[in-house]
C-alpha cells in the first residue's frame, strides 16, 4: 500500500456568513502528482491556503503523519509552496531571494545552483527582481518553493505567465523530481498541461469535492468519436442522424460512438448508399471535455 503524505478530512471554511468550503476530503499519495481542478471560485486556492495554515479552517489536515493547524505547523518546513503570487522584493536579485529562502546547510549553494539550472534562470538570476517579466517572477517563485527540496510542494497556477518553452521546462523538472520522490499538489486552468502531468485528480465544484479519480480512469471513461470525410458529407450526415448517430461537428463531420453506433455500423450504412469514405480518424475526449462533463452532471 502506498504511503499517504497529505490527508485532508472534513475541511470546512467560512468567511463571515458565507461558507466557502464544504466537507472537503481527499488524500495524496507520496511520489504522486495530484491535480486540483475546478472553475474559478470553486475553492482550489482556499484549500491550498488551509493546508498551508495561511487561513483558519475547521477539520483535520495531516502532513507526513503530523497534524497541522493555523497555530501549530512545524511540519510545513518540509513543504514548498507557490500560492497566488510569489512574494518578490523588487530591489533584491533572484539569487538573493534564493539565499534568503534556502535552509542553511553544507549543500545550500549547490541546491541554489541546481534549481537555477533546472528552471534556466541563469541569464536573469543576478538582476534585480523589479526588472523581471511576469514569467521570470513566476519562475523565481517556483524556484523558491523547490530550493529546499521539500517532500511536498503545493503549486497554484504555476504556468501563469510562462511561455511554451518555460512551460515545457517546468513540466520536465516536476516529472524528474516526482521520480525522485516529490509529491506535488497542483492547480492549473491549462488543462492540456495538467493532463501531461497529473496521475491523480481531485475535481472541485461549488466548494465541494465532486470527484476523486486517476487521470487514466477519467480519460478511459471518456466519450469516443470518429471524424470522417466522404464523397458527400451532407448526405452522409443526414443518413447517419436518421439512424441515431449524434453529430458533434459538421466541418469536419464528427460523430459520437456508442456500443450501438459503432464504426462498423457507420461504414455499412454509408457503403449501402454508395457514399465513399475518403478519410477516417478516431478521437477521444480530452481532460477539458471530461471535466466540463463532470461539472455539468
What tens digit of pLDDT does each residue of 70-116 get?
A: 888 889 899 999 998 888 999 999 999 999 989 888 889 999 999 99
Average pLDDT over residues 182-208: 91
Residues above pLDDT 90, as percent of the chain: 58
Q: What is the pTM of this model?
A: 0.82
* Mean pLDDT score, 5-19: 92
Tell me which long-range contacts 198-202 makes (C-beta under 8 A, separation of at least 24). 198/33, 198/34, 198/35, 199/32, 199/33, 199/34, 200/28, 200/29, 200/32, 200/33, 200/34, 200/35, 201/34, 201/35, 201/37, 202/26, 202/34, 202/35, 202/36, 202/37
Over residues 130-158, the mean pLDDT reads: 94
- Residue 31 pLDDT level (bands cut at 50, 70, 90): very high
Q: Is the pLDDT of residue 186 over 90?
A: yes
Region 31-47: mean pLDDT is 91
The structural domains of the chain, ordered by start, are: 4-219 (3.40.50.300), 222-296 (3.30.70.120)
Q: How confident is the model at residue 181 (pLDDT cuts 50, 70, 90)?
A: very high
Amino acid at each position: 500500500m502506498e504511503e499517504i503524505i497529505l490527508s485532508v478530512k472534513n475541511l470546512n471554511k467560512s468567511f463571515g456568513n458565507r461558507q466557502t468550503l464544504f466537507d472537503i476530503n481527499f488524500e495524496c499519495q507520496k511520489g504522486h502528482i495530484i491535480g486540483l481542478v475546478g472553475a474559478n471560485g470553486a475553492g482550489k486556492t482556499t484549500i491550498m491556503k488551509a493546508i498551508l495554515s495561511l487561513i483558519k479552517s475547521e477539520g483535520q489536515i495531516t502532513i507526513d503523519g503530523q497534524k497541522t493547524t493555523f497555530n501549530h505547523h512545524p511540519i510545513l518546513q518540509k513543504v514548498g509552496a507557490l500560492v497566488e503570487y510569489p512574494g518578490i522584493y523588487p530591489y533584491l536579485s533572484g539569487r538573493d531571494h534564493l539565499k534568503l529562502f534556502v535552509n542553511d546547510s553544507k549543500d545550500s549553494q549547490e541546491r541554489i545552483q541546481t534549481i537555477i539550472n533546472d528552471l534556466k534562470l541563469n541569464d536573469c538570476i543576478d538582476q534585480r527582481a523589479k526588472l523581471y517579466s511576469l514569467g521570470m517572477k513566476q519562475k523565481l517563485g517556483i524556484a523558491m518553493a523547490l530550493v529546499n527540496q521539500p517532500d511536498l510542494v503545493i503549486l497554484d497556477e504555476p504556468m501563469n505567465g510562462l511561455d511554451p518553452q518555460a512551460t515545457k521546462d517546468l513540466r520536465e523538472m516536476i516529472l524528474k523530481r516526482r521520480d525522485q520522490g516529490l509529491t506535488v499538489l497542483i492547480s492549473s486552468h491549462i488543462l492540456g498541461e495538467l493532463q501531461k502531468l497529473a496521475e491523480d485528480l481531485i475535481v472541485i465544484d461549488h466548494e465541494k469535492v465532486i470527484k476523486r479519480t486517476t487521470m487514466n480512469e477519467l480519460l478511459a471513461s471518456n466519450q469516443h468519436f470518429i471524424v470522417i470525410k466522404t464523397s458527400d458529407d451532407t448526405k452522409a450526415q443526414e443518413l447517419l442522424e436518421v439512424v441515431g448517430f449524434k453529430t458533434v461537428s459538421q466541418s469536419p463531420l464528427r460523430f459520437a460512438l456508442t456500443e450501438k453506433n459503432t464504426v462498423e455500423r457507420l461504414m455499412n450504412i454509408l457503403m449501402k448508399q454508395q457514399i465513399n469514405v475518403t478519410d477516417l480518424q478516431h478521437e477521444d475526449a480530452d481532460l477539458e471535455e471530461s471535466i466540463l462533463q463532470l461539472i455539468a452532471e
